[in-house]
Structure 1
Amino acid sequence: MSTASNRQQTLLRKLNQKKYRYKERLFLMEGARAVQQVIANKAIQIQVLFFDKSQRYWEQSDWKTEVDQFETATLSQELFMEVSDTDTPQGVLALCEMPSEVTAEKLAAQSGLTVALDGLQDPGNLGTIIRTAGWFGISGIISGKGTVDMFHPKVVRGTAGATGTIPFMNGELSEVFTVLEAEDWQVFLLDSGAQSQPLHQISSIKKGVIVVGNEGHGLRDELKTANRSSVRIPSPVGQRNVESLNAAIAASIALYDLSGKT
């Protein structure tokens, strides 16, 4: 197996920066199980598999098919640690092509559930939401202003291989919602306020958008219009000892509850 070229090594270093990911339309997927899941999903095109030379994953029997199927190269342990997003990386890294975004009009033509993110900043939260959305088979993900990049290494790692399996777009949420609402989509704003409707009171949904806000500041006021429903996840014990749920946990509960009503 050949060593990664100087050009490849330079590219891997650059892809930790968002501007280079979007310039090259490439991102990195790290970890044996995540990479194998991406291969199995067949939703993402892999250009090259890189292996940590010291770990020699390519010699393991369960990687033989992948080694024969893709272009492969090795990295020194030092370089693998440099481009890795973890302190103790597994010795497999996939260079992947970034999938194309869908349009608001294409999302509007679907049905079921879509998740919209309003300034969500924690990569771990976004990765978990994408992973959960993949489990429930939602129609799409809309990444609004201020939301962390969907192809940030920590986000990609958190999806556990679900990256690319869900149609997605970046855009101003108010504008996207206008397109969706014209096609009878209902917008549900996750809001812990006392005036919000308990989630379990929603009886049925044909086309619904679950909107998750910023971890610290919640949803922007401009999204809270009269034709949109603010919904909350009530605590079963009444008196709560914490102010609110984690954003990813709240989104997961909402997906579980509403997916059974579509």
Structure 2
Amino acid sequence: MRKASNNEIKLLRKLARKKYREKEQRFVVEGERAVEQVVENGLVEVETVFVLSGIAVSNQLSAISVEIEEDVLAEVADTENPQGILAVCKMPGEVDINELKNQEGVIVATDAIQDPGNMGTILRTAAWFGAKALIAGKGSVDVYHPKVVRSTAGATGSIPVLSGELETTLKELESSGWQVLLLDGGKESINLRSVQPARKTIIVVGNEGNGISKNLLDSARQKVRIGSAPGQDKVESLNAAIAVSIALWGLSDRVIG
């Protein structure tokens, strides 16, 4: 196995920053299981795998594997105790909104979700339930942030992504028949169980601290809540990723399929 070149190491360092990920259209997957899962999925192109000396890789990865020094790995890895393997992958292209207009099912939209762990879990769960896409609204954490990628547990690339101004995107999809449900725990919201979802349904989850943005609170959009057990009013709200997971489960037998 050859040693990683200076240019390959320079690229690894650059990819820690969003502007370079966007410029290079590359991102990093870290950890043995995550790298293996991305390769098995075959949904994103794995360009180069960086491994510490002595770590075995599969025959499938050997042709694109290079050896990296331990001190360099410690510098470029996003974790405190790296597992000794990471990969540089090509970003898949974003889904075209016109393609989504003609589909049916569920789309998940994030309104300024900022926690990488939440975003990664939302992506992973949306893929599990067969959501048609994830719309990452302005202010949301980069879906290719190292912590987001790690939180997807290898599911990065398994669901189409569209990023941009959320209000504009929602209006365009609504014009083609998509229904928008806003996850909101307020008194005006109705229980998700009471909702009759359309065959084209978008679930919007708001910012962890501020909830749904005011500009998205259109009167034609239904605010829905996930009901708690009777008397359980001591918990203010659900975690954003958990709320999306429950909502997807609740809609899975009525829309998704």
Calculate the TM-score normalised by the size of structure 2: 0.96
1:29 aligns to what?
A: 29
1:10 is matched with 10
Q: Which structure 2 segments of 5+ residues have no match? A: none
Instruction: Give, in whole Å, the separation in 2 of the partners of 1:49 and 1:109.
Output: 38
Could you list the runs of 4 or more consecutive aligned residues of structure 1 that deviate by over 4 angstroms after TM superposition?
Answer: none
| C-alpha separation in 2, matches of 1:41 and 1:239 | 41
Partner of residue 50, structure 1: 50
CA–CA distance in structure 2, aligned partners of residues 205 and 259 of structure 1? 12
2:59 alignment partner in structure 1: 65
RMSD: 1.1
The answer to whether residue 140 in structure 2 is matched with residue 147 in structure 1 is yes
Task: Flag structure 1 segments of 5+ consecutive residues without an equivalent.
Answer: none
Match of 2:158 among 155, 165, 168: 165
Given the alignment, which residue of 221, 238, 253 partners 1:260?
253
Letter in 1 for 2:253: G
Measured against aligned partners, the alpha-carbon deviations of 1:8-40 in whole angstroms (never above 9, x if no partner) come to 111101100000000100000011111111111
Say whether residues 1:94 and 2:92 are aligned partners. Answer: no
Select which of 193, 216, 219 maps to 1:223. 216
Task: Kindly report which structure 2 residues correspond to 1:113-132, keeping only aligned pairs within 5 A, or say none.
Answer: 113-132=106-125
* C-alpha displacement of 1:107: 1.3
For the residue of structure 1 that corresponds to 2:87, the secondary structure is strand
Residue 188 (structure 1) aligns with: 181
How far apart, in 2, do the equivalents of 1:104 and 1:177 lie?
10
| Preserved contact between residue 15 and residue 27 of structure 1 (Cα < 8 Å) | yes
Offset of residue 239 of structure 1: 3.3
SS in 1 for 2:58: helix
**In 2, distance between residues paired with 1:234 and 1:98?**
38
Alignment partner for residue 202 of structure 1, among 168, 177, 195?
Answer: 195
2 CA distance for matches of 1:198 and 1:208?
16
Cα distance in 2 between the residues matched to 1:201 and 1:132: 22
C-alpha distance in structure 2 between counterparts of 1:223 and 1:90, whole Å: 42
Q: CA deviation at 1:167?
A: 0.9
Identity of aligned residues (%): 49
Is the deviation greater in 199-208 or in 77-86? 199-208
Letter of the structure 1 residue corresponding to residue 103 of structure 2 = Q
Q: How far, CA to CA, are the matches of 1:229 and 1:90 in structure 2?
A: 45
Task: Spell out, residue by residue over 1:39-90, the C-alpha distance to the aligned partner (whole angstroms, 9 max, x if none).
Answer: 111100011111022xx222xxxx332234x411011111111111111111
Residues paired across the two proteins, number: 255
Q: Go from structure 1 to structure 2 and tell me whether the alpha carbon gap of 1:204 and 1:212 turns closer, same or farther (over 3 Å shift).
A: closer
**Once the two structures are superposed, what CA deviation does each residue of 1:181-212 show, in whole Å capped at 9, x if it has no partner?**
11111100000001101011123430100001
Check conservation: 1:52, 1:75, Cα contact below 8 A: yes
Aligned amino acid, residue 11 of structure 1: L
Q: Secondary structure at the match of 1:57?
A: coil
